[in-house]
């Protein structure tokens, strides 16, 4: 009978040591993730902003000196000032809408016209809709009491969404400040990213993976989020100068459509029609219509210039990322989703196209 070697006797103990170490590492990782998870979106968006704005910082380092921290602070201050414009528009628009609604209710000046006879002939929903509409035109308080639970639920949902939008803009500003701190250590951060990618993918593929991720983030952040933000500013300024009701909310809707890759004319054309219907055709209204219409189509010019400079990211990937990010992360997820999904898409296809050096053995 052949005696067992010492290595075979110690094998169960070695396996137990490995499992214990792996378990301790797993517990530590779970605890770290739990502690870091509340700041996940904030830090992720900060990294995206830092990577996107860093080329601007490098371009300004010549004329403004070589101090990275000073230039990063200047960029952040200018960006925060620009961001205050849509935040102010949104806040004043919501406040004006609430005040106008309260005034209408107080003076009892809100009257709903009765439905036409053709409404009852609509298939499926015609008769119920006509009945509710008729009651609303004759006895609005009674209809309100009848559907008060549903109205309460819708109101609470709307208020929570508006609060989420405000928190999203606040998170955006904090992320911008943190991004400025990252940019102040831009060179060290770039080297760290390459080191991490090289540790995961090897010293040959690591720098290429880091460069691919950087190019994808900049392409999507500039070509999708950046263009949508520019459209929101251009169209929103026109709405405010013309005095369109709810200009802030409409500008936010323009931003949403821009990120979702939907035509902004879904907002601009009804607003133009409303202005012509209320004010008639004049030099001011015609000028407003031309400006807003052109501002709504500016993405067709900017997309080939900005999105085409980076990598090829299909628009369905951006759309799914925006929708999924908005569902999971709210307004800030609307910005993060397309970028993260685009990076994952590029890394997946990089892995698919990466053929091994040595063919597998038979």
pLDDT of 305-358, one tens digit each?
Answer: 665 554 567 777 877 887 787 777 776 777 788 888 888 888 888 788 776 554
- Residues comprising the chain, all counted: 362
Instruction: Give the residue among 279, 284, 229 at the shortest CA–CA distance from 257.
Output: 229
End-to-end CA distance of the chain: 37
Indicate the range of 74-88, 122-136, 182-196 predicted with least confidence: 122-136
User: DSSP secondary-structure letter at 199?
Assistant: H
User: DSSP secondary-structure letter at 310?
Assistant: S
- Please state, in angstroms and rounded to a whole number, the distance separating the CA atoms of residues 122 and 116: 11
Higher pLDDT pick, 194 / 134? 194
Rg (CA), the chain: 28
328 contact partners, CB below 8 Å, separation of at least 6: 337
Q: How confident is the model at residue 5 (pLDDT cuts 50, 70, 90)?
A: low
Instruction: Give the residue among 292, 260, 257 at the shortest CA–CA distance from 274.
Output: 292
- Please state, in angstroms and rounded to a whole number, the distance separating the CA atoms of residues 190 and 164: 33
Total-model pTM: 0.67
Whether the pLDDT of residue 237 is over 80: the answer is yes
Q: Which two tokens stand for residue 62?
A: 């010549």
User: DSSP secondary-structure letter at 62?
Assistant: T
Q: Which two tokens stand for residue 83?
A: 């961001």
Instruction: Give the residue among 345, 325, 327, 328 at the shortest CA–CA distance from 336.
Output: 325
pLDDT at 10: 62
Contact at 8 Å (CB) between 340 and 325? yes
Higher pLDDT pick, 95 / 301? 301
101 contact partners, CB below 8 Å, separation of at least 6: none
Calculate what percentage of the chain has a pLDDT beyond 90. Answer: 2
């Amino acid at each position: 009978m052949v005696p067992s070697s010492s290595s075979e006797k110690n094998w169960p103990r070695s396996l137990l040591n490995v499992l214990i170490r792996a378990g301790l590492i797993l517990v530590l990782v779970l605890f770290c993730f739990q502690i870091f998870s509340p700041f996940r979106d904030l830090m992720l968006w900060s990294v995206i902003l830092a990577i996107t704005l860093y080329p601007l910082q490098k371009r300004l380092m010549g004329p403004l000196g070589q101090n990275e921290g000073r230039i990063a602070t200047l960029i952040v201050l200018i960006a925060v000032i620009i961001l205050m414009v849509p935040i102010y528009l949104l806040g004043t628009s919501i406040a004006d809408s609430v005040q106008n609604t309260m005034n209408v209710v107080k003076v009892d000046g809100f009257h709903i016209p009765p439905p036409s006879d053709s409404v009852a002939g609509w298939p499926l929903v015609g008769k119920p809709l006509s009945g509710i509409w008729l009651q609303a035109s004759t006895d609005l308080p009674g209809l309100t009491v009848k559907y008060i639970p549903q109205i309460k639920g819708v109101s609470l949902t709307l208020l929570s969404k508006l609060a989420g939008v405000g928190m999203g803009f606040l998170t955006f500003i904090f992320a911008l400040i943190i991004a400025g701190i990252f940019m102040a250590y831009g060179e060290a951060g770039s080297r760290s990213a390459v080191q991490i990618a090289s540790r995961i993918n090897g010293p040959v593929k690591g720098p290429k993976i880091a460069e691919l991720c950087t190019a994808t983030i900049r392409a999507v952040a500039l070509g999708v989020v950046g263009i949508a933000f520019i459209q929101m500013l251009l169209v929103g300024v026109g709405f405010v100068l013309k005095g369109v009701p709810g200009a802030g909310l409409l500008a936010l809707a323009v931003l949403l459509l821009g990120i979702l890759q939907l035509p902004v004319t879904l907002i601009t054309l009804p607003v133009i029609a409303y202005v012509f219907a209320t004010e008639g055709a004049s030099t001011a209204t015609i000028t407003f219509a031309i400006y807003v219409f052109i501002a709504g189509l500016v993405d067709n010019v900017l997309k080939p210039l900005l999105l085409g400079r980076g990598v090829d990211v299909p628009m369905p990937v951006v759309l799914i990322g925006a929708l999924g990010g908005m569902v999971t992360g709210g307004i800030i997820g609307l910005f993060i989703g397309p970028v993260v999904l685009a990076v994952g898409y590029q890394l997946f296809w990089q892995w698919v196209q990466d053929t091994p050096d040595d063919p597998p053995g038979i």
